[in-house]
Amino acid sequence: MTLDMKKLEPLLGTMVNELGAAANAALVFTGDRLGLYRAMADGQPVTSEQLAARTGTQERLVREWLASQAASGFVTHDAREGTFHLSPEQAAVFADEDSVVNMTGGFHSLAAVFADQPRLEEAFRTGSGLGWGQRCNCLFCGVERFFRPGYRANLISGWLPALEGVVRKLERGAKVADVGCGHGASTIIMAEAFPNAQFVGIDFHATSIEHAREHAKQLPNVRFETGRAQDFAESGFDLITMFDALHDMGDPVGAAAHARKALKPDGTLMLVEPMAGDSLSDNLNPVGRVFYAFSTAVCVPSSLSQEVGAALGAQAGEKRLSEIVRQGGFSRVRRATETPFNMVLEARP
């Protein structure tokens, strides 16, 4: 077999980058857990000795960690002074918990993907799937931390106002269900913004509901209940939301149909889903690459572990998602707004 070096060399270069990225993923996770990035958030230059002293960590390991981060472009190295610092952009990505571009939550989720690799391999062999309740705990915290900055940046200022008449209802005092709420980040953001409205977060993972309740102790207008999207108990809702959840469900048509029954006649279903085109070729880009990877490791196995096992995947696309919602009994579906990472669909009876 003769290899074409013009094709081989770029591929090998890509693989070097891939190995570096994969190896440093664990170090980003470690740096976040130990507070190393946050200790550099002020942008002031530090030595490895100073950073270790600030964080109560071992200097020699911190020195090597800083070297790896500098080689990755995650921290900035001053060779003349022998110091390291975070630029404002680096701090926004790694150190500022409220930054819309904070990406550290994704690395927590990656830790769960690697920890669960043997189970994922078994799911490939058997087709039995891998449910949320079977996952490493890092996944739940990682998902919340990854999505929360985007929700804080967009939900109140852009997504809800893009829906027809919903903000007025919320201001007056609407009844809202947030289905598939996980740790409750989206529910809490809405409840804080609209104190006259009543919110219930619903998720089938009981441990996530316990965490959500802890986060919302001081909010009188929100509560959290364990329940399934296909048959949660309450009805009469003005608004039902599903944030990055429908594509994970085993029976998304059943979930849409139940939402239709649980809404008031003039109610609204809001779906926030990962941004995707309607064909594979539309999604062969850096964002699609991330979503397909997590979809393979998390979303599709989760759906396959449930009844029906529709396995939509994180890149289902607007056309397929709209078909699902219409099969559930909604007559009007439109893309209300979007970001580079999400599309927001509005469905009406």
In the sheet with 175-179, reading across from the earlier edge strand, the strands are 222-226, 198-203, 175-179, 237-243, 263-274, 342-348, 332-338
Residue found under tokens 């397909």 = 292
5-96 folds as Arc Repressor Mutant, subunit A (1.10.10)
Q: What is the pLDDT of residue 139?
A: 86
Dihedral of the alpha carbons of 121, 122, 123, 127, in degrees to the nearest 10: 130
Structure confidence by residue, pLDDT tens digits, 148-200: 999 999 999 999 999 999 999 999 999 999 999 999 999 999 999 999 999 99
CA proximity to 40, closest of 69, 67, 75, 65: 75
Question: What phi and psi values does residue 64 have, to the nearest 5 degrees?
Answer: -70, -35
The CATH code of domain 105-348 reads 3.40.50.150
Which of 162, 155, 158, 154 minimizes the C-alpha distance to 199?
Answer: 155
pTM of the model: 0.91
- pLDDT in the model for residue 133: 83
Which of helix, strand or coil describes residue 337?
strand
DSSP 78-90: ETTTTEEE--HHH
What are the residue boundaries of the structural domains of the chain, listed by start?
Answer: 5-96, 105-348
Point out which residues pair with 222 in neighbouring strands: 199
